[in-house]
């Protein structure tokens, strides 16, 4: 951060006596200040050597300001938002509800909250961490490198998904997804779902700097799953892309 340096244009050279012109200038400035008598009177009073008492508010313990969490779909980049809304319009005839949706921004690192749960009625949003598939990031860089719709690829797939029913499987409570595009129409047979996972918990960032990887599922933190299910619900769309 750059610091602002104070200029020395107003400095007085202590080695020079004030000139007559300078005294006249000072007198003129004080005469102008007479418009505000209180200010002049205060300037002419002798200084009190005793420090002024601090107000009671200054003695109160300082509390940190509350953390402000972004709550607007503007956290989603405009081009990605445009594509997601176009997908919502395109798949409206397939029973997709239009009040809420989720956008997974796979251009971002897994260390960033990139699973955006958006309320299209109120205009608010909440963003969560989400893992991508190991087949999408073989070197485990934290960034998705590629998508795949193929069985056995363990990769994430792109496109629009319809959030379907809940079930309890090997990852606990999960939600099935139906792929609505040619790029993800094998999602149901591949068991690409939403579920919670220990490797998507925030403490992974403190120890590894990135989340673990799924087998292509949208894996969120274990403590975040209930809120994700509540905000997403059934019959709504998840749109995943790398734009």
Let me know if 78 is exposed, middle or buried by CB neighbors in 10 A (0-12, 13-18, 19+). Answer: exposed
Residue 30 lies in a domain: no
> Residue 7: inside a domain, yes or no?
no
Residue 190, domain member (yes or no): yes
Q: How far is CA 137 from CA 106, 121, 146, 188, 215, in A?
A: 11, 35, 7, 22, 11
3-state secondary structure of 187: helix
Within-domain flag for 185? yes
Is there a domain that residue 221 lies in? Answer: yes
Instruction: Kindly report the average pLDDT of the chain as a whole number.
Output: 80
Residue 197 has pLDDT above 70, yes or no: yes
Supply the pLDDT for residue 66.
Answer: 35
Domain assignment of residue 179, given as a range: 73-241
Contact assessment for residue 195 and residue 225, using Cβ atoms and an 8 Å cutoff: yes
Q: Is residue 82 within 8 Å of 71, Cβ to Cβ?
A: no
- What pLDDT is stored for residue 82 in this prediction? 97
Query: Residue 50: is its pLDDT beyond 80?
Result: no
Q: How many domains does one find in the chain?
A: 1
Task: With respect to residue 37, please indicate whether it lies within any of the assigned structural domains.
Answer: no
Q: Is the residue at 151 inside a domain? A: yes
CATH label of the domain that carries residue 222: 2.40.440.10
DSSP lists the bridge partners of residue 162 as 178, 237
Query: Cβ(109)–Cβ(205) under 8 Å?
Result: no
């Amino acid at each position: 951060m750059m610091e602002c340096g104070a200029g020395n244009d107003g400095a007085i050279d202590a080695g020079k006596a004030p000139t007559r012109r300078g005294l006249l200038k000072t007198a003129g400035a004080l005469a102008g200040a007479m418009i505000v008598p209180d200010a002049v009177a205060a300037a002419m009073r002798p200084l009190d050597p005793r420090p002024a008492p601090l107000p009671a508010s200054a003695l109160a313990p300082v509390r940190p300001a509350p953390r402000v969490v972004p709550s607007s779909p503007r956290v989603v980049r405009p081009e990605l938002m445009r594509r997601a809304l176009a997908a919502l319009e395109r798949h409206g005839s397939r029973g997709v509800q239009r009040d809420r949706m989720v956008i997974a921004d796979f251009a971002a690192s897994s260390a960033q909250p990139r699973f955006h749960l958006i309320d299209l009625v109120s205009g608010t949003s909440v963003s969560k961490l989400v893992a991508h598939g190991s087949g999408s990031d073989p070197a485990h860089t934290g960034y998705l490198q590629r998508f795949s719709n193929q069985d056995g690829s363990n990769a994430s797939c792109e496109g629009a998904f319809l959030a379907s029913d809940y079930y309890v499987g090997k990852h606990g409570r999960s939600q099935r997804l139906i792929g609505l595009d040619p790029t993800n129409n094998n999602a149901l047979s591949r068991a690409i779902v939403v579920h919670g996972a220990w490797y998507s918990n925030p403490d992974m960032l403190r120890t590894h700097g990135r989340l673990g990887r799924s087998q292509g599922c949208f894996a969120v933190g274990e403590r975040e799953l209930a809120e994700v299910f509540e905000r997403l619900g059934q019959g709504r769309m998840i749109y995943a892309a790398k734009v």
